[in-house]
Structure 1
Amino acid sequence: MSSALLRHPRLITLEGGEGAGKTTAINAARDYLRGLGHEVVLTREPGGTPLAERIRGLVLKPDEEIAAEPLSAEAELLLVFAARAQHVRRVIQPALQRGAFVLSDRFTDSSYAYQGGGRGLDAHWIADLERRAVGLLPGLTLLLDVDVAIGRARANGRDLWPDRIESEQDDFFQRVRAVFRERATQDPQRFAVIDASQAQPAVAAAVAAAVAQRLQQGGLA
């Protein structure tokens, strides 16, 4: 894959910390686009293909053997990018090439936030992996922004068995949120920041409005 990043207008990603409500948001975006007659492919990261889902299991829900040998931050990052490279080639690119919209629950911004901000890995290394293994930028990234305490309370009420990322401490998620917000500030043409502290219907309406606005501006043509 080329080392240049191609911003694709029909690739829409949803980002945010734990408990931000990405499921509500992605469903709202899907329903809006399908209502206009577009083909929409829903997918997620890590994952999206059978192999990438197996890698997801290593990253998020390690088996007994892996639990006895915890993943280093560097191994976690490389596994996530291995899954993403497979995901891009097997799911995202074919869907975009046939004219579909792709809605992905997380994409490369999560690596900057979680492995960069949360784990403290070098953002330049992440950027190099992004260029070499991914090559794509979303045309629109919906950032579901919510206070860490609110998001974690929601996640704790939902997940009886937190995965290895969800089990991190508050300071980890504060760093994650800070990187997401910084990236949104640095690239306002790509990001739409949604106040995810609102009730689900309000979040869904804000997401649909952000997608509609971008379509009207010609940014998702």
Structure 2
Amino acid sequence: MSPVVDLDRLCVRRGDVHALADVTARLRPGVVTALVGHNGAGKSTLLDVLAGVRPPTSGRVLGLRGRSVAYVPQRSAVPDDLPVTVGDVLAMGRWREVGPWRRLGAADRALVAQVADRLELAGLLRRPLSSVSGGQRQRALVGQGLVARADVLLVDEPTAGVDTGTREALLAAIADEAGRGALVVHATHEQAAVDRAGAVLALDAGRLAR
């Protein structure tokens, strides 16, 4: 099981604006943490810092050293016409282990098939990503994070704009990741997703809401 991750007086400045300001919190493995707040509250910025793609201006993140991290961005950040198949998207989750565009081993292929079955994508693996529905694209993107089998899973708005069936499938799969001991954080605006989380971290204008 991953260690706890501590956010210690974390700050991120963008010019004169504090995207995050003095955020101190503890994130626990085996728990789904819902990251909530209005647009511009700092949710995506915090996920970027945890993913290592944005350095903090000050403060520290403790507990991530040596741990693998999978980051699933918002669907809107991924072009719908990306020239890959659904199976390619899932397989990318194994790149950290096997290298980009390398042939997957038997165990990797089995893991892709397992996640595809879990998210009802097994019949779509050869389909271009651009040819499937928005909900199926979202399942594929989250599936990539699941295939990574990382110590830490970060997901930005996993259920935004999807139907009820897709929402339930994605939340159940995310909960399964926490169940195997991963530390899971997802940003959300949806009450159904908050209700399924084991912990909630609320941000307001870059600060922890009191």
The TM-score, its normalising length taken from structure 1, stands at 0.33
More strand by share: 2
The TM-score, its normalising length taken from structure 2, stands at 0.34
